[in-house]
Every structure is written in structure tokens, then in C-alpha cells.
Structure 1
């Protein structure tokens, strides 16, 4: 099983967020730097069981709240639609299922 950890400490702009996604997921140069483009790149792209760990979401600035909510919905949908993907949120010292984290 592969594990991808997304640590959001230090992410303070949408530009940094999408540059981080580009780096971690090794997205193509044509990646559009938005959540729709992220979905297009990630949806059904995992060939092996993969766990995506989301860390330090609470450190993303509050002015990015809308983007964070959309991102969480995207990862939840990814987990729901791709049987190879499990997404967990590491909140402080415990790990919870993404379904329990989003409203």
C-alpha cells in the first residue's frame, strides 16, 4: 500500500496550495491550478491501494476556508468513487476518517 501525506503547514495562499498538489501528486505541466483540474488529474488515477493523509488542515489561514471546504469535499468524493483510495485526516494527535471530518 502506498501512503501520500499532505502536510498543509506553511500553505497560506491558493497558489501555494496548488503548487504543493502539483509537486506531491506529480501533476502534469498543464495542471490548471484549481480544484476541478485537481479532480480531473486524480480521479481514477490510482492503480494501487493508496492512503492519502491530510495533516495540519487547521493551519491553513481562515481566509482560505472556502477552498479548504471544497478540497475536503474533493478528497471525500475521491475516496467514495475510487476503491483504491482511503483518505484520513490527522487532527492533532489522532487520525479520523474524512467522512467524519467534513460537514
Structure 2
């Protein structure tokens, strides 16, 4: 299984608008990409821990895929992903990815 954490740094003050775009994309990914087991845009919640890093302009997308090939197909850009990229570009500063696989 492949696990992806996509860290989307959103331009200051535009997180809610960016989340609207993610709300359109998420159900399309889950419904139309058979290898996708989870696709969930998330935001920070303050738990009050001293080592917690909060960022009001960050959206973290947690994803689980059956295989690397399934994730590659998603990245290659089905129509809904292409539409998403066009819709999010004005809100996005940068995206970084952490891609892992089950170790045990």
C-alpha cells in the first residue's frame, strides 16, 4: 500500500477558497480512481501540544493507494485532476509530497 501526504501551502487568507476546490475534487478521486482507498484534505487542529506546528495556510491531503501504478495514474492527470489543477493554481503557493509504502 502507498501512503501520500501532500502538503499544499496556500496563499495567506485563501485557505477557505482552496478548500472549496478540494471539496469538488475529493469525491471525484474516490469515485473514479479505483486504486484510491483514501483521499482526504485536512487542516490543522490545535491540540495544545508544545511540539505541535500549526499553519493556518496549509492543507494536508492524506491519500492511500493500492499501488504505485494507481498513484502514477492519478498524477498523470485524469480529467478531474486536470480541472482541479487549473482551479487551484491561483490559491496555491507550493506543494510538497511525502510518499511512503507499508514497511511491515
Q: TM-score, normalised by structure 2?
A: 0.35
More strand by percentage = 2
Bigger Rg over Cα: 2
Q: TM-score, normalised by structure 1?
A: 0.35
Instruction: Choose between structure 1 and 2: higher helix proportion.
Output: 1
